[in-house]
Structure 1
Amino acid sequence: MFEQDILNKANSYMETFHYDDVSGHDIAHVNRVTKLAEYIASNEQKGHLLTIQLASILHDTIDEKIAKPKEAKARLINFFAELNLSQTLQESILHIIENMSYKNGANNNTKLSIEGQIVRDADRLDAMGAIGIARTFQFAGHFGEPMWVENQDHNIMQETNQNYNDWPPSAIKHFFEKLLKLKTLMHTKTAKNLAQQRHDYMQDFVQTFFKEWYFKY
């Protein structure tokens, strides 16, 4: 099977899986991650492109946040068989998508191939910046979490020893427990450069959010 046919089938599989998603893990998210990964690979001149593309396209199809992992993995393996992918390629893709998620930092030290590093960078970049902000509030709303719970004050950005795990769930909490940490977790130089601007934008947003939430006159 030609590579473009494989990619077309993978896209169809992905679109069927994500077609009604409203959690922020939708088709548009996957398309952005794929474009970012392709850009990083091109800029870095590293990695096997088909592995990067397939891992990007399929990266959320076994994500426990939106799927039952064991059942989803079995379906994905069956799909790989339909594509006649080599065992090596299947194993490479599965290792990437099973180990790229943040999972409260648990996967940060997992060793990934250069292809895995590129796809992880791309996925994390889409959790940052303006898109990352929008996705965070979309995700929180989908799972019934508030924007913010008033358990801290507006000087929070200057605090260095906050125990964020003790805070009630909220969209803003997610910035502190994950999103504002992503800048330092990028693998590639290309992603590090992109992450800086997105990080600064998020930080400005959170500071402005607290100024407006705790408005004083």
Structure 2
Amino acid sequence: MNNDERLSLAYDYMHYFHKNDATGHDVAHVNRVLQLATYVAEQEDVHDLLIIQLASLLHDTVDHKLTNVDEAIQRLKEFLQKLSLSEKQEAHILNIIQYMSYNNGKNNNIDLSIEGQIVRDADRLDAIGAIGIARTFQFAGHFREPMWVENDSQRIDHNATTNYDDWSPSAVKHFYEKLFKLKDLMHTTTAKQLAEQRHQFMKLYINQFFDEWYFEG
């Protein structure tokens, strides 16, 4: 089996899993992660594209927000065995997929290979910027969370430390508990450069959001 055949089968596996997604973890998201990861790998002169591309395609098929993790991992292991990969390659892909997610910051200290770092960077890049904003509100709406719940902070300076732990769940809270942190958690130089512009766009957006929410005329 050649690599094009492996990637085609992985795409089909991914497409079947994500085809009806309405949370922002859809086929389009996975395609963007794949494209970003491939771009970052090329810029960083990393050549093991098969590992990167397979991990990118399959990374959300074991996401705890979308499926039963234990069952999903078992299905994924069985699928990878069909690709005629070496045991080392299978283990590498599974390691990336299992430990690349943000997971409320719990995985930030998990060491990943350079291939894993690239896939993690790509996934995090798609969580910020204009697309990240859209996905955040899509995700919140799907799980019936509001855009924003007013609290004593009222006007919030997102450059300062804020006690967002006490806030009620909302799409905007997600910016503070995760999205604004991602810029500083990128691994590769290429991803850091891409993240900076996307981060600044989110800051502009949130400023505009609060200007409109608390409009005073």
TM above 0.5:
yes
Residues 90-101 of structure 1: pairs in structure 2 closer than 5 A: 90-101=90-101
Alignment of 1:68-83 (within 5 A): 68-83=68-83
Counterpart of 1:67 in structure 2 is: 67
Q: What TM-score do you get using the length of structure 2 for normalisation?
A: 0.98
Q: What do you get for the CA RMSD once the two structures are aligned?
A: 1.0
List runs of 5+ in structure 1 lacking aligned partners: none
> 1:137 maps to what in 2?
137
Distance in 1, matches of 2:37 and 2:204, equals 26
Deviations 1:115-150 (A, max 9, x none): 000000000000010000000000000001000000
Query: Which residue matches 1:89?
Result: 89
Q: Residue 177 of structure 1 corresponds to which residue in structure 2?
A: 177
CA distance in structure 2 between the aligned counterparts of 1:57 and 1:207, rounded to whole angstroms: 34
Take 2:39 and 2:61, find their aligned partners in 1: how far apart are those partners? 22
- TM-score normalized with structure 1 length: 0.98
Which residues of structure 2 form unaligned runs of 5+? Answer: none
Paired AA for residue 200 in structure 1: Q
**1:188 counterpart residue number:** 188
**TM superposition shift of 1:164:** 1.3
Structure 1 position 207, deviation (Å): 0.6
Secondary structure of 2:111's counterpart equals coil
How many Å separate the matches in 2 of 1:96 and 1:84? 19
> Which contiguous aligned blocks of 4+ residues in structure 1 show a shift greater than 2 angstroms?
152-155, 158-161
Aligned ranges 1:148-167 → 2 under 5 Å = 148-157=148-157, 160-167=160-167
Question: Could you say what secondary structure the match of 1:83 adopts?
Answer: coil
2:44 counterpart of 1:44: yes
| Letter matched to residue 27 of structure 1 | V
How many corresponding residue pairs? 217
Distance across 1 between alignment mates of 2:192 and 2:47: 17
Within 2, Cα distance between the matches of 1:133 and 1:161? 21
Whole-angstrom distance in 2 between the partners of 1:213 and 1:41? 41
Task: Report how far residue 161 of structure 1 moved.
Answer: 2.9
Measured after TM superposition, the shift of residue 82 of structure 1 is 1.3
CA 150–27 in structure 1, closer or farther in 2 if over 3 Å, else same: same
Amino acid at match of 1:134: A
Answer yes or no: is 1:122 the counterpart of 2:115: no
Asked whether the equivalents of residues 33 and 56 of structure 1 are also in contact (C-alpha less than 8 Å), the reply is yes
What do the CA deviations read for 1:26-65 (whole angstroms, capped 9, x no partner)?
Answer: 0000000000000000001025110000000000000001
Change (3 A) 1:83 1:159: closer
Q: Whole-Å Cα distance in 1 between the matches of residues 97 and 200 of structure 2? A: 28
Asked whether the equivalents of residues 55 and 93 of structure 1 are also in contact (C-alpha less than 8 Å), the reply is yes
Amino acid at match of 1:194: L
Q: Which amino acid aligns with 2:35?
A: K
1:11 aligns with 2:14: no
> What secondary structure sits across from 2:145 in the alignment?
coil
